[in-house]
Structure formats: structure tokens, C-alpha cells
Amino acid sequence: MAKGKILVVDDEKKIVSLVRAYLERDGYQVVEANDGRQALGTFQRERPDLIVLDLMLPEIDGLEVCRQIRRSSEVPIIMLTARDEDADKLVGLELGADDYITKPFSPRELAARVRVVLRRARPVTGPPATTRLALGALVVDEARFEAACHGRVLPLTPSEFRILAALARSPGQVMSRVQLLDALGETYEGYERTVDVHIKNLRHKLATAGSGEGCNIATVHGVGYKLQESRHV
């Protein structure tokens, strides 16, 4: 039985074939698309467990594909980019991608990233000692892999949920970017600014869920972030 279904989207068929070979060797089922329009159709039809998505695609570019998928799904997305520019990576993360890898890349490293991102997208086997964390209007249910604010379920990506849960376990305690990367289960030297983007997205989603008494993620300059209860005066 396959470990999961992976959609690989790239217009370079050699790259798709190489990635497919490594992922299938690891026990995944692989479906593919070679342009953005085909990617959206394949996503709707196949409902994959994770998407490996190139940014530079014909028809519809990868950023727009990511944007459209995020309107209806929180499926984990790993971006592929030929550009080694921080701006491209950050835009993709702001749109809801979970991770990125820059071309040229090692297919072995990509396969490792797939394992890590899928692992963080799934609840651990057996509930943790504390499964329901509450702070003000925020409730984080680790057993259900779900968070709600003012009774409204937050549409979080797996990475956003992991970061929020880590902060909620120690309300008021400052966590560094490195500690938050550890909470994501990274096994490589992480890119710390990705944490800043996930925090920005979390703040927006918390604000959208409702104002008044609730909680917020405070920045402690030069140190990191902390989750604290806030009261509307």
C-alpha cells in the first residue's frame, strides 16, 4: 500500500521522471502535471496528499496555482524554484506553501523534505499528554490537528498549525526562530525567515477570526515570538 499520493508539477519532464523514481522507490504513488492548468485539474481529480510545485510553469505560473489551491485546500505544498532569491521564496510561503527547495537540487533531499512535510501534516500516533490547549478565545486541539478562535476553525497549513501549537504549549514564553523550526520537525539547517512568514500568516488568520478578547502573537525583538492573551479595551 502506498504511503501517500504525491502530485509533481514541473514542465521539465526529466525532472519529473527523476523525482517520480525517487518518490516511488520510497513507497509513494506519484501523479504528474506539466503546466499550471493541468496541475489544477489533476489536483481536483486526484486529491493528492502533497504537491511538489515548480514556480516557473507555462499556462498558469506556480504562484497562481498555489493561490488557487489555497482557496479550497490546506494540502501541503513544496515549491521548486530555479531562482535563488529570497523574495520568490517568501511570496510562495505567504501564499501558503509549506517548504521550498531551489534548483538544482538533490532528489534525495527532496524525498527527505517530502517525508518531513507529510509527517508534520499528520497528527502523531497516539495523543500527546496535553491534547487541548486554550488561551483566551483560542483553542488548539492537537489530537484533532485543529485550532479555533472565537469558535471559528482556522484554515491553517500544517506548518502554521505546528508553530501555533508550539507557542500555545508555553503561553507567554518566548520561543526563538530556531526553536520554532524544531517544532516543524526540520532535519536540515532551516531558513529562519520562513518562520517570520508563517507568523505573519497566523496573525492574519487570528485577526480574521474575530477581534476583542482573544490572543495575539507578540514579537520580542532580537529573541523570537510569544503567544499571549489580549483584551480589547
**Residue entry with cell 471559528:** 152
Please give the pLDDT value at position 191: 62
* pTM of the predicted model as reported, rounded to 2 decimal places: 0.68
Contact 39, 63 (CB under 8 A): no
Please give the pLDDT value at position 189: 47
> Where exactly are the structural domains of the chain?
5-121, 132-230
Please give the pLDDT value at position 233: 41
Please give the pLDDT value at position 25: 92
Q: What is the dotted CATH code of the domain comprising 132-230? A: 1.10.10.10
Is 232 a residue whose pLDDT tops 60?
A: no
Q: How confident is the model at residue 12 (pLDDT cuts 50, 70, 90)?
A: very high
Is 212 a residue whose pLDDT tops 60?
A: no
Mean pLDDT score of the chain = 84
Is 229 a residue whose pLDDT tops 50?
A: yes
Cα–Cα distance for residue pair 52/7, rounded to 1 Å: 6
Is 221 a residue whose pLDDT tops 60?
A: yes
Segment 111-123 mean pLDDT? 81
Rounded to the nearest 10 degrees, what angle do helices 193-208 and 86-94 cross at? 30
Helices (H) and strands (E) in the chain, counts: 8, 11
Q: What is the dotted CATH code of the domain comprising 5-121? A: 3.40.50.2300
